[in-house]
Protein backbone atom coordinates (compact mmCIF):
# COMPACT_ATOMS: atom_id res chain seq x y z
CA UNK A 1 0.00 0.00 0.00
CA UNK A 2 1.04 3.59 -0.58
CA UNK A 3 -0.40 5.54 2.31
CA UNK A 4 -0.42 9.14 3.46
CA UNK A 5 0.01 10.10 7.11
CA UNK A 6 -0.80 13.54 8.42
CA UNK A 7 0.35 14.42 11.92
CA UNK A 8 -1.56 17.61 12.53
CA UNK A 9 -0.10 19.57 15.41
CA UNK A 10 -0.67 23.02 16.77
CA UNK A 11 2.79 24.15 15.62
CA UNK A 12 3.40 22.12 12.48
CA UNK A 13 1.78 19.73 10.07
CA UNK A 14 3.93 16.71 9.26
CA UNK A 15 3.03 14.93 6.02
CA UNK A 16 4.50 11.49 5.42
CA UNK A 17 4.27 8.76 2.85
CA UNK A 18 4.61 5.17 4.02
CA UNK A 19 3.05 1.75 4.16
CA UNK A 20 0.87 -0.38 6.42
CA UNK A 21 3.93 -1.85 8.17
CA UNK A 22 4.90 1.59 9.42
CA UNK A 23 7.75 2.18 6.96
CA UNK A 24 8.11 5.86 6.15
CA UNK A 25 9.37 6.72 2.66
CA UNK A 26 9.29 10.51 2.80
CA UNK A 27 8.32 13.31 5.10
CA UNK A 28 7.80 17.07 4.84
CA UNK A 29 6.38 19.59 7.28
CA UNK A 30 4.55 22.88 7.08
CA UNK A 31 3.89 25.42 9.83
CA UNK A 32 0.35 25.39 11.21
CA UNK A 33 -1.05 28.78 10.19
CA UNK A 34 -4.71 29.36 9.34
CA UNK A 35 -6.57 26.68 7.36
CA UNK A 36 -6.64 29.00 4.33
CA UNK A 37 -2.86 29.22 4.39
CA UNK A 38 -2.00 25.66 5.42
CA UNK A 39 -4.55 23.36 3.81
CA UNK A 40 -3.44 23.95 0.17
CA UNK A 41 0.08 22.73 1.07
CA UNK A 42 -1.22 19.56 2.67
CA UNK A 43 -3.61 18.80 -0.15
CA UNK A 44 -1.14 19.38 -2.97
CA UNK A 45 1.52 17.31 -1.20
CA UNK A 46 -0.74 14.29 -0.88
CA UNK A 47 -2.25 14.79 -4.35
CA UNK A 48 1.20 14.70 -5.93
CA UNK A 49 2.15 11.54 -4.06
CA UNK A 50 -0.69 9.43 -5.41
CA UNK A 51 -1.74 7.91 -2.10
CA UNK A 52 -4.36 5.17 -1.79
CA UNK A 53 -5.59 6.33 1.62
CA UNK A 54 -4.86 8.96 4.26
CA UNK A 55 -4.60 8.68 8.04
CA UNK A 56 -4.92 11.83 10.11
CA UNK A 57 -3.59 12.05 13.67
CA UNK A 58 -4.88 15.41 14.79
CA UNK A 59 -4.51 17.87 17.61
CA UNK A 60 -7.79 18.27 19.45
CA UNK A 61 -10.37 18.50 20.60
CA UNK A 62 -11.97 16.81 17.63
CA UNK A 63 -15.33 15.18 16.93
CA UNK A 64 -14.79 11.41 16.64
CA UNK A 65 -18.43 10.29 16.58
CA UNK A 66 -18.84 8.66 13.19
CA UNK A 67 -22.58 9.36 13.08
CA UNK A 68 -22.16 13.03 13.91
CA UNK A 69 -22.77 15.86 11.44
CA UNK A 70 -19.45 17.32 12.52
CA UNK A 71 -17.42 14.09 12.42
CA UNK A 72 -13.79 14.92 11.73
CA UNK A 73 -14.11 18.59 12.71
CA UNK A 74 -11.70 20.35 15.01
CA UNK A 75 -14.03 21.63 17.73
CA UNK A 76 -12.97 24.13 20.41
CA UNK A 77 -9.35 25.09 19.78
CA UNK A 78 -8.11 28.64 20.41
CA UNK A 79 -5.96 28.43 17.21
CA UNK A 80 -7.17 31.11 14.74
CA UNK A 81 -9.35 29.67 12.00
CA UNK A 82 -9.42 26.09 13.26
CA UNK A 83 -12.34 26.32 15.67
CA UNK A 84 -15.24 24.27 14.22
CA UNK A 85 -13.18 23.64 11.09
CA UNK A 86 -14.24 20.63 8.93
CA UNK A 87 -10.71 19.25 8.79
CA UNK A 88 -11.40 15.69 7.70
CA UNK A 89 -14.27 16.57 5.30
CA UNK A 90 -12.04 19.11 3.50
CA UNK A 91 -9.18 16.64 3.16
CA UNK A 92 -11.47 13.86 1.99
CA UNK A 93 -13.22 16.08 -0.57
CA UNK A 94 -9.92 17.28 -2.03
CA UNK A 95 -8.08 13.94 -2.08
CA UNK A 96 -10.98 11.59 -2.79
CA UNK A 97 -9.37 8.59 -1.02
CA UNK A 98 -10.48 6.68 2.13
CA UNK A 99 -9.45 8.61 5.23
CA UNK A 100 -8.95 7.48 8.84
CA UNK A 101 -9.07 10.02 11.63
CA UNK A 102 -8.25 10.12 15.33
CA UNK A 103 -6.43 12.27 17.87
CA UNK A 104 -2.63 12.42 17.78
CA UNK A 105 -2.28 10.54 21.07
CA UNK A 106 -4.88 7.94 20.13
CA UNK A 107 -2.97 7.27 16.91
CA UNK A 108 0.25 6.89 18.91
CA UNK A 109 -1.47 4.54 21.37
CA UNK A 110 -2.81 2.43 18.49
CA UNK A 111 0.69 2.17 16.99
CA UNK A 112 2.40 1.33 20.29
CA UNK A 113 -0.25 -1.32 20.94
CA UNK A 114 -0.01 -2.84 17.47
CA UNK A 115 3.74 -2.83 16.94
CA UNK A 116 5.50 -0.93 19.71
CA UNK A 117 6.05 -1.23 23.45
CA UNK A 118 2.63 -2.79 24.10
CA UNK A 119 2.68 -5.32 21.25
CA UNK A 120 0.90 -8.51 22.28
CA UNK A 121 -0.86 -6.93 25.25
CA UNK A 122 -4.56 -6.12 25.43
CA UNK A 123 -4.16 -2.65 26.89
CA UNK A 124 -1.85 0.33 27.25
CA UNK A 125 -1.74 4.00 28.04
CA UNK A 126 0.34 6.29 25.84
CA UNK A 127 1.06 9.72 27.28
CA UNK A 128 2.90 12.55 25.61
CA UNK A 129 4.51 15.06 27.96
CA UNK A 130 5.60 18.10 26.00
CA UNK A 131 4.08 21.46 25.16
CA UNK A 132 0.83 19.85 26.21
CA UNK A 133 0.03 16.62 27.98
CA UNK A 134 -2.32 14.15 26.33
CA UNK A 135 -3.05 10.46 26.56
CA UNK A 136 -4.49 7.68 24.44
CA UNK A 137 -5.88 4.50 25.94
CA UNK A 138 -6.18 1.02 24.50
CA UNK A 139 -8.40 -1.20 26.66
CA UNK A 140 -9.38 -4.77 25.81
CA UNK A 141 -7.68 -4.28 22.43
CA UNK A 142 -9.74 -1.24 21.46
CA UNK A 143 -8.89 2.43 21.38
CA UNK A 144 -11.08 4.28 23.89
CA UNK A 145 -13.26 7.10 22.55
CA UNK A 146 -16.39 7.21 24.66
CA UNK A 147 -18.23 10.49 25.07
CA UNK A 148 -15.66 12.53 23.10
CA UNK A 149 -12.08 11.39 23.69
CA UNK A 150 -9.91 11.51 26.78
CA UNK A 151 -8.41 14.86 27.71
CA UNK A 152 -5.84 13.13 29.83
CA UNK A 153 -3.84 16.26 30.66
CA UNK A 154 -6.61 17.84 32.64
CA UNK A 155 -7.17 15.84 35.80
CA UNK A 156 -6.31 17.34 39.15
CA UNK A 157 -3.06 16.68 40.93
CA UNK A 158 -2.34 16.75 44.62
CA UNK A 159 0.32 19.48 44.88
CA UNK A 160 3.69 18.73 46.43
CA UNK A 161 4.22 20.76 49.64
CA UNK A 162 7.47 22.19 48.20
CA UNK A 163 5.98 23.34 44.90
CA UNK A 164 6.47 27.14 44.62
CA UNK A 165 3.56 27.29 42.15
CA UNK A 166 1.04 24.73 43.46
CA UNK A 167 -1.82 25.97 41.27
CA UNK A 168 -0.02 25.36 37.99
CA UNK A 169 -0.62 27.34 34.83
CA UNK A 170 -3.64 25.88 33.04
CA UNK A 171 -6.04 28.69 32.11
CA UNK A 172 -9.00 26.33 32.63
CA UNK A 173 -8.20 24.27 35.73
CA UNK A 174 -6.65 24.97 39.11
CA UNK A 175 -3.81 22.48 39.43
CA UNK A 176 -4.40 20.04 36.60
CA UNK A 177 -1.68 17.73 35.28
CA UNK A 178 -0.96 19.71 32.12
CA UNK A 179 -0.80 23.00 33.99
CA UNK A 180 1.50 21.51 36.62
CA UNK A 181 3.82 19.35 34.55
CA UNK A 182 4.00 20.25 30.84
CA UNK A 183 7.08 21.86 29.33
CA UNK A 184 5.81 25.45 29.64
CA UNK A 185 4.95 24.84 33.33
CA UNK A 186 8.56 23.84 33.99
CA UNK A 187 9.71 26.99 32.18
CA UNK A 188 7.32 29.25 34.08
CA UNK A 189 8.03 27.68 37.46
CA UNK A 190 11.81 27.79 37.24
CA UNK A 191 12.41 30.60 34.73
CA UNK A 192 14.37 28.41 32.33
CA UNK A 193 13.39 25.92 29.63
CA UNK A 194 13.45 22.28 30.70
CA UNK A 195 16.40 21.38 28.49
CA UNK A 196 18.59 23.97 30.26
CA UNK A 197 17.94 22.59 33.75
CA UNK A 198 20.63 20.11 34.90
CA UNK A 199 19.55 16.66 36.15
CA UNK A 200 20.22 17.66 39.79
CA UNK A 201 17.95 20.73 39.60
CA UNK A 202 14.94 20.54 41.99
CA UNK A 203 12.69 20.92 38.95
CA UNK A 204 13.17 17.24 38.18
CA UNK A 205 12.27 15.98 41.65
CA UNK A 206 9.02 17.89 41.33
CA UNK A 207 8.37 16.92 37.72
CA UNK A 208 8.92 13.23 38.48
CA UNK A 209 6.64 13.52 41.51
CA UNK A 210 3.81 14.78 39.31
CA UNK A 211 4.44 12.29 36.53
CA UNK A 212 4.52 9.50 39.13
CA UNK A 213 1.18 10.70 40.48
CA UNK A 214 -0.07 10.58 36.92
CA UNK A 215 1.17 7.00 36.49
CA UNK A 216 -0.21 5.87 39.85
CA UNK A 217 -3.58 7.42 39.00
CA UNK A 218 -3.52 5.63 35.65
CA UNK A 219 -2.81 2.32 37.39
CA UNK A 220 -5.73 2.56 39.78
CA UNK A 221 -8.21 4.08 37.35
CA UNK A 222 -7.37 2.21 34.14
CA UNK A 223 -5.19 -0.74 35.08
CA UNK A 224 -3.21 -0.61 31.81
CA UNK A 225 -0.74 -3.39 31.07
CA UNK A 226 1.89 -0.87 29.97
CA UNK A 227 2.43 2.85 30.50
CA UNK A 228 4.32 4.48 27.66
CA UNK A 229 5.70 7.98 28.14
CA UNK A 230 6.71 10.03 25.12
CA UNK A 231 7.00 13.70 24.15
CA UNK A 232 9.65 16.36 24.47
CA UNK A 233 9.93 16.44 28.26
CA UNK A 234 10.51 12.68 28.36
CA UNK A 235 13.62 13.17 26.21
CA UNK A 236 15.16 13.88 29.63
CA UNK A 237 15.84 10.20 30.14
CA UNK A 238 16.89 10.63 33.77
CA UNK A 239 13.19 11.17 34.49
CA UNK A 240 12.28 7.53 33.90
CA UNK A 241 13.98 5.97 36.95
CA UNK A 242 12.64 8.78 39.15
CA UNK A 243 9.10 8.36 37.87
CA UNK A 244 9.20 4.58 38.29
CA UNK A 245 10.50 4.70 41.85
CA UNK A 246 8.00 7.34 42.96
CA UNK A 247 5.10 5.52 41.31
CA UNK A 248 5.93 2.42 43.34
CA UNK A 249 6.24 4.53 46.49
CA UNK A 250 2.88 6.24 45.93
CA UNK A 251 1.03 2.99 45.19
CA UNK A 252 2.64 1.65 48.36
CA UNK A 253 2.14 -2.03 47.58
CA UNK A 254 -1.60 -1.65 47.12
CA UNK A 255 -1.72 -3.08 43.60
CA UNK A 256 0.08 -6.38 44.09
CA UNK A 257 1.22 -7.43 40.71
CA UNK A 258 4.73 -8.37 39.59
CA UNK A 259 4.64 -5.75 36.82
CA UNK A 260 4.59 -3.00 39.41
CA UNK A 261 6.27 -4.61 42.42
CA UNK A 262 9.16 -6.36 40.67
CA UNK A 263 9.43 -5.23 37.08
CA UNK A 264 8.50 -1.58 36.88
CA UNK A 265 11.41 -0.87 34.51
CA UNK A 266 9.41 -2.78 31.91
CA UNK A 267 6.08 -1.31 32.97
CA UNK A 268 6.68 2.44 32.64
CA UNK A 269 8.65 2.75 29.42
CA UNK A 270 9.65 4.97 26.52
CA UNK A 271 7.80 4.48 23.22
CA UNK A 272 8.86 1.32 21.41
CA UNK A 273 8.58 3.23 18.14
CA UNK A 274 10.69 6.13 19.40
CA UNK A 275 9.51 9.39 17.86
CA UNK A 276 7.56 7.50 15.19
CA UNK A 277 4.52 6.46 17.26
CA UNK A 278 2.39 9.23 15.77
CA UNK A 279 3.27 8.72 12.11
CA UNK A 280 2.95 4.95 12.46
CA UNK A 281 -0.48 5.39 14.04
CA UNK A 282 -1.55 7.65 11.18
CA UNK A 283 -0.38 5.04 8.65
CA UNK A 284 -2.37 2.38 10.52
CA UNK A 285 -5.45 4.61 10.43
CA UNK A 286 -4.96 4.98 6.68
CA UNK A 287 -4.57 1.22 6.19
CA UNK A 288 -7.70 0.56 8.23
CA UNK A 289 -9.67 3.10 6.19
CA UNK A 290 -8.48 1.47 2.96
CA UNK A 291 -9.42 -2.02 4.12
CA UNK A 292 -12.96 -0.85 4.87
Residues found near its own copies in the complex (CB under 8 A) = 61, 75-76, 122-123, 135, 137, 139-140, 142-159, 172-175, 213, 216-225, 250-257, 259-260
Min dist CB 127 to its own copies, Å, is 11
Nearest one of 13, 58, 62 to 34, comparing CA atoms: 13
Q: What is the DSSP letter of 80?
A: T
Min dist CB 254 to its own copies, Å, is 5
Min dist CB 84 to its own copies, Å, is 10
147-151 long-range contacts (CB < 8 A, ≥24 apart) are: 148/61, 148/63, 148/64, 149/60, 149/61, 149/62, 149/64, 149/102, 149/103, 149/106, 151/60, 151/61
Min dist CB 58 to its own copies, Å, is 16
Q: By the 8 A CB rule, do 231 and 214 touch? A: no
Rank residues 74 and 282 by Cβ distance to its own copies and give the closer one.
74
Min dist CB 153 to its own copies, Å, is 8
Q: By the 8 A CB rule, do 288 and 98 touch? A: no
Other CB atoms within a 10 A radius of the CB of residue 142 amount to 12
Q: By the 8 A CB rule, do 128 and 150 touch? A: no
Q: How far is CA 49 from CA 14, 27, 54, 238, 255, in A?
A: 14, 11, 11, 41, 50
Rank residues 250 and 270 by Cβ distance to its own copies and give the closer one.
250
Rank residues 87 and 155 by Cβ distance to its own copies and give the closer one.
155
Rank residues 158 and 192 by Cβ distance to its own copies and give the closer one.
158
Min dist CB 280 to its own copies, Å, is 21
Q: How many helices (H) and strands (E) does the chain have?
A: 9, 10
Rank residues 97 and 222 by Cβ distance to its own copies and give the closer one.
222
Rank residues 4 and 104 by Cβ distance to its own copies and give the closer one.
104
Amino acid sequence: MRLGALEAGGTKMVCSIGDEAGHVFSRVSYPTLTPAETMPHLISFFQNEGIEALGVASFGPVDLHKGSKTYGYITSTPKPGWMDYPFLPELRAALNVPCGFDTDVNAAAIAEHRMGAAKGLSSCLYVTVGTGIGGGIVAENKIVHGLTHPEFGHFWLRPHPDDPTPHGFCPFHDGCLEGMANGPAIMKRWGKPAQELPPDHPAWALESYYLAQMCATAVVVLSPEKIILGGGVMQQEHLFPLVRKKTQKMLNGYVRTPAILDDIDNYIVAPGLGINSGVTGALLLAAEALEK
